[in-house]
A and B are shown apart, each in its own frame.
Chain A
Amino acid sequence: MITVTNLTKNYPSGEGAVPALRGIDLTVATGEFICIMGQSGSGKSTLLTILGGMCHPSDGSVTIDGTPLYELNDDGLADFRARHFGFVFQSFHLVPYLTALENVMLPLAPLTMTATEKRSMAAEALARVGLAGKEGRLPSKLSGGEQERVAIARAVVNRPTLLFADEPTGNLDSATSDQVMALFSELHRAGQTIVMVTHNPDNGRYAQRTIRLKDGLVVS
């Protein structure tokens, strides 16, 4: 469960601090699929970054299953991300010189487990997103939809408590977008907690709840 209390984020600027989030309170239950929507500059990406343990808030707190996230030190936060979070980025962000299987194995690299275990988990995650048989392909040899699937496989390979997605269909055509969203829906049905940022209203229908942000505040 995510509990967000009075979350504030100000970015330094030449003329003083620019507020990105202005005191957000939010709760996400385990197994919930929520969608954060809002216009550009509304603060949705900043909120996702802070929920994902990648950016310290100016004020307020984020607690994940009882762990106050930003009371952890840098290594503790990195370990927490490795064990509990999965990320799907807008531009896929696959490592170009690694194969699909190796890209999926990336989050497992710093973890203590055998190479066979890592390989097996990565192959299983790829199969789960429908890419069995394409393990050895480099990202450049995959279509946009396939790259997105590899990114999703990479995000779920460590069986995360929370899956964060930032505009996961931003670079895809509508047919592929539907396939990807169906995949998220399937993951959710399997019990995965998902927090997704999008400005595409069509994606909102896959989520259980939609939170709308405007000027750093939750408006609905």
Chain B
Amino acid sequence: MKPYHIALKNLLRRPARMFFLTVALAVGLAAVVALVTLANSMTADIEHTMDQFGANILITPKSNDLALSYGGISLGRVAFDQRELDPSVLERIRTIKNRQNIAVAAPKVLGTVTIKGRELLLVGVDFAAELRLKPWWRLNGTEPSAEQDALLGNAAAQALGVKPGEQLQVGNRSFTITAILQDTGSQDDGLLFVPLAAAQAITGKQGQITLIEVAALCTGCPIDEMVEQISGVLPDAKVSAIKQVVEGRLQTIGQLKRFSLGMGGVIALISLALVFVTMMGSVTERKVEIGIFRAIGYRTGHVMGIILLEAGLVGLAAGLIGYGLGIAAAVVTLPFMASSDHPHLLVQWQVALPAVLSVALVSLLAAWYPARKAGKMDPADALRSL
């Protein structure tokens, strides 16, 4: 027999009391674990969705323009030094420190053309990169692959009366419309997409690029740092992050995280009080028993060890049960809160370990004073009959 046997035996003596204390602590922890896990999972889900969403960095040439306004009335902007990007930018952005986070870099050249008496915006693209960048595109027809292949937005196709497989004359070049883009609800519906080189030739911008859309693998990657890195290698370009859409959502999740941690603090205080009261009650109730231990030669440390071990075991059990309950609650709740159809629950040891240990630590802290009181108990006082 060792002093810890006494702790275990005593825990088993009052199973109901210890069960309810464990459940109370476990439920408190479960709430915090569920909220933190949900917040982390939702953040990851949004980041994953953003990866799927397309470009999140836009590279355009720097242009000097002036905002014209008078008397509070805006008259638009006037660009007086319009420039284009040169093709070397594609190679240069692949040299940044976080280059492994670049999923796609899709260059574009823009220009206007007149077809069948209608003005249309012509977009020269690298089709392979563009189709990776916009996985939500649905095509009626086949993907463009040859130099004379072109893709037409749905609205533009209707306006021009063109169907997949038909020829379209643009300037002195003829293109085969291999596919019509289904409605996207965006400006893409009114555009004509042709291979980059062809568009450069038609618009007279040989070897030039108007803009590059970059999709960065966002999960865990620092978009702002990547923007800085790209700006560093492209001093003549304007590099901006397209993140306003998700920022609001991320901010909400951030608030949820802060709320979870705040709630964790409150629950920790309640748990502290709960364990303290229970252990103080236990020490008072076991005064004679502790007096016997002290009388027969148990040191202060031995008695403290017994009380702290009981509290630590309850805390550890509550930590493990609470973490399990929290994860289970998060599994049930996540599908209703995440933005994607198949959200992935983020189970992290960085959450599990501190969660379980924090409850054990709170229990130990709360039991410290009662344990100290028990350890310092005067055996003669405890055993008044002696």
Contact = CB atoms under 8 A, between A and B. Distances in A.
A114 to B, nearest CB: 11
Nearest to B293: A106
Contacts of B5: 102, 109
Interface string B256-290: 00000000000000000000000000000000110
Contact of A106 (B288, B296, B300): B296
Contact of A54 (B12, B302, B385, B386): B386
B303 to A, nearest CB: 9
A42 to B, nearest CB: 15
Contacts, number: 96
Interface of A: prevailing SS: helix
18 contacts: A48-B386, A49-B386, A75-B300, A78-B294, A78-B302, A79-B297, A82-B296, A83-B297, A87-B386, A89-B385, A89-B386, A90-B385, A93-B383, A96-B13, A102-B9, A110-B298, A118-B1, A167-B385
Contacts of B289: 93, 95
A202 to B, nearest CB: 20
Given A109-B3, A110-B3, A166-B386, A81 B292 contact: no
B337 to A, nearest CB: 47
Given A106-B293, A109-B2, A166-B386, A78 B298 contact: yes
Contacts of B293: 106
B233 interface: no
A97 B297 contact: no
B139 to A, nearest CB: 76
Contacts of B298: 78, 82, 109-110
Given A45-B386, A78-B300, A52 B295 contact: yes
B300 A74 contact: yes
Interface of B: 1-3, 5-6, 9-10, 12-13, 288-289, 291-302, 378-380, 383, 385-386
Closest 5 CB pairs of A and B: A82-B297, A97-B13, A55-B380, A81-B297, A105-B1
A115 B293 CA distance: 19
B37 to A, nearest CB: 39
Nearest to A78: B299
Given A82-B297, A90-B386, A110-B298, A97 B1 contact: no
A95 B7 CA distance: 12
Contacts of A45: 385-386
A108 B1 contact: yes
A106 B297 CA distance: 10
Interface in A58-116: 74-75, 78-83, 85, 87, 89-91, 93, 95-98, 102, 105-110, 115
B292 to A, nearest CB: 5
Contacts of B296: 81-82, 85, 87, 106-107, 154
A166 B383 CA distance: 11
B299 A75 contact: yes
Contact of A97 (B10, B378, B379): B10
Interface of B: prevailing SS: helix
A54 B297 contact: no
A84 B380 CA distance: 18
Contacts of B12: 97
Interface string A132-149: 000000000000000000
Given A52-B295, A110-B298, A91 B385 contact: yes
A106 B299 contact: no
B46 to A, nearest CB: 54
A109 B6 contact: yes
Contact of B302 (A83, A89, A98, A110): A110
B379 A93 contact: no
A117 to B, nearest CB: 11
A46 to B, nearest CB: 8
Contacts of B291: 93
Contact of B9 (A75, A79, A83, A97): A97
A87 B379 CA distance: 12
Contacts of A119: 1
Given A97-B10, A109-B3, A110-B302, A54 B292 contact: no
Contacts of A89: 292, 383, 385-386
A91 B378 CA distance: 18
A95 B292 contact: yes
A55 B295 CA distance: 10
Contacts of B378: 54-55
Nearest to A98: B9
B297 A107 contact: yes
